[in-house]
Amino acid sequence: MNVDEDWPRRAVCRGMDPELFFPGEKDTPAQRAAIAICQRCPVREPCLASAKRSGVTYGVFGGVFINHVMTGRPGRPEAPCGTSGARMRHRNRGETCRTCGIDQTARR
């Protein structure tokens, strides 16, 4: 198995609640806590590289807070459904998406 393909198995966050890495606003205690978890991780670089390759628009990856949800990136397609970036996009827009497991109807 290629080292790049194997990195998630060595991630410190493996088995943690993924919501920890989608902390809301910038520079909050939750965001700092997520970044602190990443700082202990031996696979920060491949994590961040993978997030960038997949078009993630929001969250903490490799110790970096990515927030392109509201501004978007011209010429860049949105993250595909089923990814963490798409789930956050649906939450922020108040959308329901079966593929992403987001049900906004309960909030209304």
Residues 6+ apart with CB under 8 A from 66: 51, 56, 57, 58, 59, 60
Using an 8 Å Cβ cutoff, are 104 and 95 in contact? yes
DSSP collapsed to 3 states, 20-52: HHCCCCCCCHHHHHHHHHHHCCCCHHHHHHHHH
- With vertex at residue 95, the alpha carbon angle to CA 91 and CA 96, rounded to the nearest 5 degrees, is 100
Q: Which amino acid is present at 37?
A: I
Is 38 annotated among the ligand-binding residues?
A: yes
Is 47 annotated among the ligand-binding residues?
A: yes
Task: Write the pLDDT tens digit of every residue in 34-85.
Answer: 999 999 999 999 999 998 888 888 899 999 988 875 444 555 567 778 887 7
pLDDT value of residue 94 = 74
pLDDT value of residue 99 = 80
Domain count, the chain: 1
pLDDT value of residue 108 = 43
Using an 8 Å Cβ cutoff, are 69 and 58 in contact? yes
* Domain region containing 80: 3-107
Is 97 annotated among the ligand-binding residues?
A: no
Is 41 annotated among the ligand-binding residues?
A: yes
Report which secondary-structure segment, H or E, holds 82: none
Q: Whole-prediction pTM value?
A: 0.60
